[in-house]
Structure 1
Amino acid sequence: MRELYEDPATPVASGPDRSRRQAAVLARALRGSAAPPVILDIGCGDGTAAATASSTLDELLGEHRLVGVDWSQDALRRASTRLTAVRGELTAPGLPFASGSADAVVFSEVIEHLVDPDAALDELRRVLRPGGHLLLSTPNLAAWYNRALLLAGTQPVFSEVSLRGIHGRPGSQVVGHLRLYTAKALRSLLPASGFTVEGITGAPYHDVPRPLRPLDRLACRAPSLASILLVHARKSGH
């Protein structure tokens, strides 16, 4: 996995539509904050998504502090040209932030890459203040086209059986997905990790073939069918 994520050819950014949608949810959640909110983008990749989100936050929220965090040195090198970016890990020794120091955490297209998502969610919860916001996005195993592909006996989009090549599914690029989630699974997993789910919405996938994009956007009206799941949750308790 280390070799995969340090390879400059491995994608480390997602489409701008998801970033703008996520930033709009975050702006509504943080509006009225007494001080400029501190937002951590965990798994920021090359920083393009964070830069898009920050621009939207400037328009909808105003002053804020956005810090990118990634494990890959190659991604950090690219991200540092767009925003403040630091190296951090979701396992020991953990993220380089004090407990309760963040108002919000953006966790976009990261959880599907993790061996231990439970430990990662514990670490995100640690750095959030009480009631702090978690904005998580991840590909939807139950996306409308994956349901059709499974009926046809085809491996779903986003799922991978090898890190060396694509086998049995559409697409041509290995991206290192280890786990896939449905909306129902996230509604159960997040409360078990100390978060209250405020809502789940959908976003389109930028690599859907152009003729199918109107259908993909339409599917966003029913998050359980959407390509990408956008989850807004809050840290429960103290």
Structure 2
Amino acid sequence: MTITAPPGGLRDFYENPAVPVASGTPRSLRQARMLATALGKGTSLILDIGCGDGTAAATAAPLLPGHRIIGVDWSQDALTRARPHLAYAIRGELTDGGLPFRTAAADAVLFSEVIEHLVDPDAALDELRRVLRPGGHLMLSTPNLAAWYNRALLLAGVQPVFSEVSLRAIHGRPGREVVGHLRLYTARALREFVAAAGFEVVRLQGAPFHGVPRPLRALDRLACARPALASILLLHARRT
């Protein structure tokens, strides 16, 4: 989930086996379909950066036949859980030269629900840009600060879903699970941030969130038609 070596407290947090390192299957499938369309047939090197327990890459693999997927994570606990799902799972960090790949080595990067956990997302995108070839694909997903229900929660004075004020417990918002979110993005902010890092944004679409209560899931799926309101943002960009 995080592949930049964090400060002491965060380091212990991410090595805790109780901390979730997997995301929803529907989001993984949507992202894999976007990447499969972008890559087409052939043999490409895909890096799953922040691979967590490897289930997202394993979900995507059947939609990416012929392509090679390598999982990368900072957490040794995550890598231990990922190896049964991935042929290759190695350790790396999102710092200057911290990923163990040469410059322009990769054709695509999967960056699924990682950026919201990072202390320094600017350095992370610089490192992703380094390992991607010119024209290479970045498939990034992250929770949407401005999701339709977060807008209503803020109006009611309630802390938005996905935001966290503590690594020990949830305070002031719905939910019970602490996952270590440090940064959150709106659709507009994500577009601008990725473009400023040297990428051309190709497409931004929405995806549902598996944690939405069942009676509201139909509405959550409808919100995907407008990424600015969706629970999860799926962004496809190309390295310039």
The answer to whether structure 1 residue 27 and structure 2 residue 3 are counterparts is no
Counterpart pick for 2:71 among 68, 73, 86: 68
Aligned-residue offset at 1:187: 1.2
Q: Name the aligned partner's letter for residue 72 of structure 2.
A: V
Is the CA contact 2:47–2:109 (under 8 Å) kept in the aligned structure 1? yes
Is the CA contact 2:32–2:60 (under 8 Å) kept in the aligned structure 1? yes
Deviations 1:102-138 (A, max 9, x none): 0000000000000100000000000000000000000
Q: What secondary structure is seen at the aligned counterpart in 2 of 1:159?
A: coil
Counterpart pick for 2:49 among 39, 42, 65: 42
Q: Trace 1:1-238 onto structure 2 (pairs within 5 A).
A: 1-33=10-42, 36-57=43-64, 62-83=65-86, 84-236=88-240
Give the count of matched residue pairs.
Answer: 230
Gaps of 5+ in 1: none
Deviations 1:160-203 (A, max 9, x none): 01111110011001100000001100111111100000010010
**Matched residues in 2 for 1:131 and 1:172: separation?**
41
Aligned-residue offset at 1:93: 5.0
Q: What secondary structure is seen at the aligned counterpart in 2 of 1:27?
A: helix
Deviations 1:25-54 (A, max 9, x none): 000000144xx0000000000001110011
**Matched residues in 1 for 2:41 and 2:60: separation?**
18
Give the TM-score, by structure 1 length.
0.95
**Matched residues in 1 for 2:195 and 2:205: separation?**
17
Q: What secondary structure is seen at the aligned counterpart in 2 of 1:199?
A: strand
**Matched residues in 2 for 1:23 and 1:92: separation?**
27
User: Identity of paired residues, percent?
Assistant: 73
Q: Name the aligned partner's letter for residue 147 of structure 2.
A: A
Q: What secondary structure is seen at the aligned counterpart in 2 of 1:212?
A: helix
Give the TM-score, by structure 2 length.
0.94
Q: Name the aligned partner's letter for residue 45 of structure 2.
A: V
Deviations 1:209-238 (A, max 9, x none): 1111111011001011000000000001xx
CA RMSD of aligned residues (A): 0.8
Aligned-residue offset at 1:56: 2.3
Q: What secondary structure is seen at the aligned counterpart in 1 of 2:180?
A: coil
**Matched residues in 2 for 1:56 and 1:232: separation?**
17
Q: Name the aligned partner's letter for residue 204 of structure 1.
A: P
Q: Name the aligned partner's letter for residue 73 of structure 1.
A: Q
Task: Spell out structure 1 runs of 4+ moving beyond 4 A.
Answer: none
Q: What secondary structure is seen at the aligned counterpart in 1 of 2:205?
A: strand
Q: Name the aligned partner's letter for residue 122 of structure 2.
A: D
**Matched residues in 2 for 1:199 and 1:149: separation?**
28
